Amino acid sequence: MNISFVSYEVDPFAKVGGLADVAGTLPKYIKKYTDQLNIIMPFHKVAEKNIKSKGYLLEKVAENLYPFSHSFKYSFSVFKSFLPDTDIPVYLIKNEELFSTDDVYEYPHKEHQTTYFSDAVISFIKNYLPETNLLHLNDWQTALIPVYLKTNYRDDDVLSKIATVFTIHNLGYQGIFPPDILSIAGLPGYLYNIDALEFFGQINFLKGGILFSDIINTVSKTYAEEIQTEEYGYKLDGVLKVRNNDLYGIINGVDYEKINPETDKNIPYNFSKENLENKYKNKLSLQKELGLPENKNIPVISFIGRIVEQKGIDLIADILDYLTLLDVQVIILGTGEERFEKQLKEFQNKYNNRLSINIRFDIKLAQLIYAGSDMFLMPSRYEPCGLGQMYSMRYGTIPIVRYTGGLADTVKEFNCEKNIGNGFGFYNYHSSDLLVAILKALNIYYRKPECWKNVVLNAMNSNFSWDKSAEEYIHLYKRALAKKV
């Protein structure tokens, strides 16, 4: 198998959320099953900064290339780096006009940027990587690649042989734009059709990915089922049902080398199951760093994530007045929608010694929060997989989740008598249900310390390695390739 993995975010080059973690880790695990594997991403400004500051190798491998169909006649060049500590090449596609913003998703005309990138990837493959026989695509930004392949390039001797696997990391982001994007992208006008890319008078990129890829998957089994219902389908449930025979769910894993309390360089005290005292030293460091009273007995309840509706921020905001009545400390780290950021900042002034609101992106602080907290909130409205709950468990921090999508597949309700389970949760999307789930955890934390220790150990013993999921991806690749013969 000769695979190119295409993603808009790849950790540690450019990260906004969980997509970067997956794109920066999964390739390491599928590598052993493949002949050739590389990653292709845009050369965002932030990637350039990270490569320079971290001293990664960078060389130009191609210049003056052009996309074949796109109406923008800018040329692009391609740079090569490597996924750190591996021999996996990362190809970065550079164009000054389109990748000029500081952050990954800042460019105002994303439809121009993503279509240009998609067609440029194809042109680069045809010219420099013609042995490629499978493209693993991720999210709406890359969803038109299979559309180009099955329309404009269906008779091309190299490109027509390429199979596609398309992973949906989040159905909530679809890439919906006015119909004139088809002519800008150089795609045929007949795609403006209900059986193709048309979507309520617009063009929907994700719909293109769903209909034109050989195989589709999402990042947990439960979410793969949920998105075929009206409640979670974001108006694409019907389209997903049409592709039901080719739709799979594969749970994400955790990079056990990077997300490891025994070796993590971002935390002051490394620890393991055998040495949990150090976890509580991290708790004191965390409290100190955020200006909260330093006390290792007070339960610290945290949230890290994008501050958007998906993550259940409204439920957290609803209960903060009640939660702060209790002897707890609450820490929030994230960035996102302004209305939520503003609302959270207002709470900060009310409850200074119980609450720490941090509106920023800060990887080092995130690791200290995973390590130094007792409980980790993920009351998501929907959650394709979720990584925070798995990271927190690695550090003995107990997830409190809404049982939906990947959260339902990775968190099991703790039962103190039987000593089974690794977290706590609730089902209905109601703030009172979230509050009750937190109270269940606090009850055990305060009144049954032996049980609390057990749930901490159960969480740390949970297995979220990528090995099994990587094997499942290989099966999907084989299925996709079988469609080409």
Ligand X SMILES: Nc1ncnc2c1ncn2[C@@H]1O[C@H](COP(=O)(O)OP(=O)(O)O[C@H]2O[C@H](CO)[C@@H](O)[C@H](O)[C@H]2O)[C@@H](O)[C@H]1O
Binding site for ligand X (CB under 6 A): 17-19, 21-22, 169-170, 219, 252, 304-306, 333-335, 361-363, 366, 383-388, 406
Which element (helix H / strand E) includes 123?
helix 110-128
**Cα 257 from Cα 273, distance rounded (Å):** 16
Shortest separation between residue 194's beta carbon and ligand X, angstroms:
28
Distances (CA, A) of 139 to 218, 377, 394: 10, 25, 27
Q: Report which of 261, 329, 330, 333 is spatially closest to residue 297, judged by C-alpha positions.
A: 329
Cβ proximity to ligand X, 170 vs 356, nearer residue = 170
Cβ proximity to ligand X, 211 vs 385, nearer residue = 385
Cβ proximity to ligand X, 12 vs 17, nearer residue = 17
Question: Position of tokens 């909530």?
Answer: 172
Cβ proximity to ligand X, 198 vs 362, nearer residue = 362
Shortest separation between residue 198's beta carbon and ligand X, angstroms:
26
Shortest separation between residue 368's beta carbon and ligand X, angstroms:
11
DSSP string, 139-189: SGGGTTHHHHHHTTTTT-TTGGG-EEEEEES-TT---EE-TTHHHHHT--G
Cβ proximity to ligand X, 155 vs 231, nearer residue = 231
**Strands 300-304 and 375-378: what pairing?**
parallel
Shortest separation between residue 337's beta carbon and ligand X, angstroms:
13
User: Is residue 360 a contact partner of residue 333, using CB atoms and an 8 Å limit?
Assistant: yes
Cβ proximity to ligand X, 267 vs 385, nearer residue = 385
Shortest separation between residue 334's beta carbon and ligand X, angstroms:
4
Residue 245 gets which letter from DSSP? Answer: G
Centroid of chain to Cα 333: 16
**Cα 479 from Cα 481, distance rounded (Å):** 5
Shortest separation between residue 436's beta carbon and ligand X, angstroms:
23
Residue nearest to ligand X (CB): 17
* Residue 15 counted as an annotated binding residue: yes
Helix axis angle, 313-323 relative to 338-350, nearest 10°? 10
Beta bridge partners of 420: 415
Shortest separation between residue 371's beta carbon and ligand X, angstroms:
12
Helix axis angle, 18-30 relative to 467-482, nearest 10°? 80
The angle at the Cα of 24, spanning 29 to 263, to the nearest 5 degrees, equals 80
Cβ proximity to ligand X, 198 vs 472, nearer residue = 472
Cβ proximity to ligand X, 185 vs 357, nearer residue = 357
Shortest separation between residue 383's beta carbon and ligand X, angstroms:
5
**Cα 433 from Cα 446, distance rounded (Å):** 20
Q: Summarize the annotated binding site for ADP-alpha-D-glucose as residue ranges.
A: 15
* Residue numbers belonging to the annotated binding site: 15
